[in-house]
Amino acid sequence: MKIKISNISQSEDANNKKVKNTKKLDVWVLVDGVVGHANQSLALARKLSDNYQIKKLEYNWTVRLPNFLLSSYPFHLKKDLLKEILSQKLPDVIISSGRRPAPLAIYLKKISKGRTKIIQIMRPNLNPKEFDLVILPQHDTYNHTLPNVVRIIGALNDIKNSLSDSRAAIKLNYPGVKNFIAVIIGGGSKAYDFTHANCMNLINSLKTISENHSLPLFISFSRRTPKHVKENFRRNFAEPNIIYDPEEKIPNPYPALIEDAEYIIITADSISMCSEAASTGKPIYIFCPKNFNLKKHKFFIQQLVDLGIAKRLEPETNFLVKYSYNILQELDKVAKIVKNSI
């Protein structure tokens, strides 16, 4: 398989092409503990084939070594796991995401003598020419311009894949809920502190917006949402507003939440969540406080604003407006490139 991507910007031409080969692809997805990376790999695998296997990787201390050392032999994997993987018939396609799975993908391609094709999502910290396809977000600065490097906007996602289950969960756990504003709350990171001041500014804006629209809020926390943020939201938003916490023992309503909302308000700290919101066609307002200094995230948010996909939730934003935009369909673009080249 030789993947040609020089015409990635010609999406209309790609959409009109028929898949050249109807063979059911055998796909492996290499995943580790990084959920955002795994979600992107799985989204692409599901789009390519229903015949995919997930290979959960576990590492030893040598995973800290540079990738160029690990690609000659992936001794950063636990021995029993590597032995098991090497005993199996290699697939048509391997998808990896992030730095740590990349050396294993390259090694497996080598021992397949090139029969197995490898697709890498995010930076591999290896020579990109080693891969058949490298998928990189535009917010990730990269010095290579190569025919096998695809630049995308945001993160790959297939949020609609779990939509029916999510709607069933909402119907079961929140009966009668409709016509609401979705509020998606992320959290802080090593480089960004979701402060008490940030939290209260967002809460005050939400109160005004909810009152002006006469619409309740359906608030969803993430696993990264700080405890003090959760406590403040619970103190300030009682019924008819709804709050979902991932710590609750009920299914996550998130996919249906953003698909069925009148408007989406979302914090700027998750590129994945913003990308998923941008695939819905719903009006999106992004809360990006003054102390938010994550460079890649800010670049991506500005892209969404420039494309007319999202608006910033400013302190003076008291009323949300309806508008339309071309939804992000980066997963479809990448999948068509792969399928039309096999």
CATH classification at residue 178: 3.40.50.2000
**Are residue 148 and residue 165 in the same domain, yes or no?**
no
Range of the domain at 147: 11-152
Do 199 and 141 belong to one domain? no
| Domain finish residue from 135, 152, 169 | 152
Per-residue pLDDT of the chain (342 residues; tens, 9 = 90+): 444 443 333 344 444 444 444 568 899 999 998 888 999 999 999 999 999 999 999 999 999 999 989 988 999 999 999 999 999 999 999 999 999 999 999 999 999 998 999 999 998 999 999 999 999 999 987 766 788 899 999 999 998 887 888 888 888 888 888 899 999 999 988 888 999 999 999 999 999 999 999 999 999 999 999 999 999 999 999 999 999 999 988 888 999 999 999 999 999 999 999 999 999 999 999 999 988 988 999 999 999 999 999 999 999 999 999 999 999 999 999 999 888 776
Q: Is the same domain home to 146 and 168?
A: no
Q: Can you give the CATH number for the domain in which 111 is found?
A: 3.40.50
Listed residues 152, 168, 203: the one ending a domain = 152
What would the 3-class secondary structure string for the chain be? CCCCCCCCCCHHHHHHCCCCCCCCCCEEEEECCCHHHHHHHHHHHHHHCCCEEEEECCECHHHHCCHHHHCCCCCCECHHHHHHHHCCCCCCEEEEECCCCHHHHHHHHHHCCCCCEEEEECCCCCCHHHCCEEEEECCCCCCCCCCCEEEECCCCCCHHHHHHHHHHHHHHHCCCCCCCEEEEECCCECCECCCHHHHHHHHHHHHHHHHHHCCCEEEEECCCCCHHHHHHHHHHCCCCCEEECCCCCCCCCHHHHHHHCCEEEEECCCHHHHHHHCCCCCCEEEECCCCCCCHHHHHHHHHHHHCCCEEECCCCCCCCCCCCCCCCCHHHHHHHHHHCCC
Domain identity same for 96 and 47: yes
Residues 129 and 173 in one domain: no
209 in the same domain as 93: no
Residue 339 domain flag: no
Residue 133 sits in the same domain as residue 181? no
Answer yes or no: do 148 and 287 share one domain. Answer: no
Within-domain flag for 325 = no
Asked whether residue 112 falls in the same domain as residue 179, the answer is no
Tell me the whole-structure pTM to 2 decimals: 0.87
Whether residue 37 lies inside any domain: the answer is: yes
As for how many domains the chain has, the answer is: 2
